[in-house]
Amino acid sequence: MKLIVIAPRGKMGKLITQAAAQRPDIELTAGVGPAGRDYIGKDLGEAAMTGQMLGVPVTDDLESVIDDCDVIIDFSTKETGMEVLECAVRHKKALVCGTTGFSPEEMEKFREASASIPLLYAANTSKLVNIMNRLLEIVTQAVGDEADIEILEMHDQWKKDAPSGTSREMGEIMARAMGKELKDIAVYGRHGACPRQKGTIGYHSLRAGNIPSSHTVYFGFMGERLEITHHSYNWECFARGAVDCAAYLADKGPGWYTIQDVLHLG
């Protein structure tokens, strides 16, 4: 399977490149970075700090290299993500996107694109996070109408969007399990007089230092509570998961795929 990595010097792009370079079933064909970056024109291995030369270039022009790939992995910015999506559709290439912060209208464009290309969007590509999502669904189906549900998520000081895409996905899963829409029941932080309303999902976002990723969902009852938590110690688990997603898409036809498909959690 031939793979292009977008933003190979980014915190995720770098680790994705390193993970892909270790797999015998994957051939890296190019990296694509923003114009003007000092690593454009260098070897992908050098740009992603893999410790070895990979013999493939980093370019700032996806159009020039896209025809020589099967799948694209994009963990960049929402602006770049939309450009990559449009290019993937034009060239009929499979796309794994893990970028977060897209508006509902932008996410609809991803949905529309899946009619013509294999597309997998995942706010979080960790195997354990997605197992946690399945647990959240099970618990909410059992006690969602009784529990006070609160989400606490922590990320590094550079995280741009709040709440995180992962915690939004968790909220959407629990809201669906209650037969509701997240937009109708989400409460973001609290200040002043704001008594808790039954049936809502509370969000709290912490941004500090270099915390990689931490998500805890609380199911509060009188006299007891249940907590389900995932902590990542670094971003390598997300990178390995992203590469697994790309390998999964390699032989698939057009359609909307999820990490649950990859992990057989459906």
- Give catalytic residue positions: 155, 159
Residue for token pair 């992990």 = 263
17 is in an annotated binding site: no
37 is in an annotated binding site: yes
Whether 18 contacts 48, CB under 8 Å: yes
122 is in an annotated binding site: yes
Q: Residue 105: CB partners within 8 Å, gap ≥ 6?
A: none
125 is in an annotated binding site: yes
134 is in an annotated binding site: no
Query: Whose CA is closest to 220, among 199, 189, 204?
Result: 199
124 is in an annotated binding site: yes
81 is in an annotated binding site: no
**Could you tell me which residues are beta bridge partners of residue 229?**
216
Tokens of 236: 């390598």
Binding site members for NAD(+): 98-100, 122-125
- Binding-site annotation: residue ranges: 37, 98-100, 122-125, 165-166
Binding site listing for (S)-2,3,4,5-tetrahydrodipicolinate: 165-166
